[in-house]
Amino acid sequence: MTSSEVQEQVNEYYDECQVDYSMMWGTNDHLSMHFGYHDDENRRLKDAVINLTRVIADRADISEGDRVLDAGCGVGGSAVWLARERGARVDGVNINEMQVEKARRGAAERGVDDRVAFHVADYTEVPFDDGSFDVVWAVESVCHTDDERAFLREAKRVLKDDGVLVVADGFLGKERDEMTDDENEGVDAMLEGMAAPSLATVEEFRRSLVDEGFRGVGFENKYESVYPSARRIYLMTLATYPVAALLRLLGVRSETQTKHLSAAYHQYRMLKKGVWVHGLFYARS
């Protein structure tokens, strides 16, 4: 699959599945589409989703006046929070025009459009000068590229000296040839339904960071933090998939939307098996 075909698939996925995120994840409220980081103080989904942003912002040490590139910004939740809560100046990039427009409206409604800007752009080729940003931020977006090295090179280019890269995403917990047939099939269904061409293993991504010149590379496995979110998706899928499958037969829901629900089912199964992990990488330029 070519890069343009990958982008077409990603755009189709988000165009068609945005309604599911809005209905099942409360995206219209907090403008976020990612897992939550659950803990004793953040048990509700909404609180956990915001907590993920807070935890990563703390890891990147984002403070007032910092300039942040949100690479694959979704509908703007992280960017808006960083502007409101940390006083950061944020540029979000996204290849999906619908999501960019939604992000712009959300920022205006929340009074931060003077500190946040959203652009239709590919995060492997962004319209910014070298050394423009203090932080490059990527939450559940690198999984949508077929060339993670291109993303890392571009992140390195636009970061200031000693700038920070944070990547929170899914990574394979084992090599494909170490997986059982069931595990390989589960990963395939998960990736296809989430418009992710592939996932690097944790060690592969770590090597890529080092090879591209990043320093102080660290990784945190966030299994315990995201497990409640994954279980919530799984239970919702068990309840809704039979109806969704019927609606697919009736032509009301698309194949992409149906595969999205199937992916959520397999995602939980594979997370429990350790076949994939949700983790946080951080490094300096």
Dump pLDDT digits (tens) for 93-113. 999 999 999 999 999 999 999
The CATH number given to whatever domain includes residue 170 is: 3.40.50.150
Give the pLDDT score at 55. 98
Mean pLDDT confidence for 25-37: 91
CB-based burial label for 170 (10 Å; 0-12, 13-18, 19+): buried
Tokens of 181: 């047939």
Mean pLDDT confidence for 19-23: 87
Give the pLDDT score at 147. 94
Number of Cβ within 10 Å of residue 178's Cβ equals: 12
Residue-wise pLDDT tens digits, 32-66? 999 999 999 999 999 999 999 999 999 999 999 99
Q: What residue has token string 């165009």? A: 15
Give the Cα separation of 223 and 228 in Å (integer): 9
Residue-wise pLDDT tens digits, 229-250? 999 999 988 988 888 788 888 8
Full-model pTM: 0.96
Give the pLDDT score at 246. 85
Give me the residues paired with residue 69 across strands: 91, 136
The strand pair at 89-94 and 159-172 is best described as unpaired
DSSP string, 99-127: HHHHHHHHHHHTT-TTTEEEEE--TTS-S
Going from the C-alpha of 214 to that of each of 2, 127, 210, 251, the distances in angstroms are 27, 22, 5, 48
Give the pLDDT score at 164. 98
Cα 159 to the chain's mean position, in Å? Answer: 20
CB of 129 within 8 A of CB of 158?
yes
Going from the C-alpha of 178 to that of each of 137, 173, 266, the distances in angstroms are 31, 10, 18
3-state secondary structure of 280: strand
Q: Which of 137, 126, 146 lies closest to 8, judged by CA?
A: 146
Beta strands in the chain (DSSP E): 67-71, 89-94, 116-120, 133-139, 159-172, 215-221, 276-284
Give the pLDDT score at 74. 97
- Residue-range definition of the domain harbouring residue 179: 3-284
Give the Cα separation of 174 and 184 in Å (integer): 11
The strand pair at 276-284 and 159-172 is best described as antiparallel
Give the Cα separation of 85 and 96 in Å (integer): 26
Residue-wise pLDDT tens digits, 154-207? 999 999 999 999 999 999 999 999 999 999 999 999 999 999 999 999 999 999
CB of 168 within 8 A of CB of 278?
yes
Structurally, the chain folds into a number of domains equal to 1
Give the pLDDT score at 1. 67
CB of 270 within 8 A of CB of 23?
no
Give the pLDDT score at 20. 87
3-state secondary structure of 180: coil
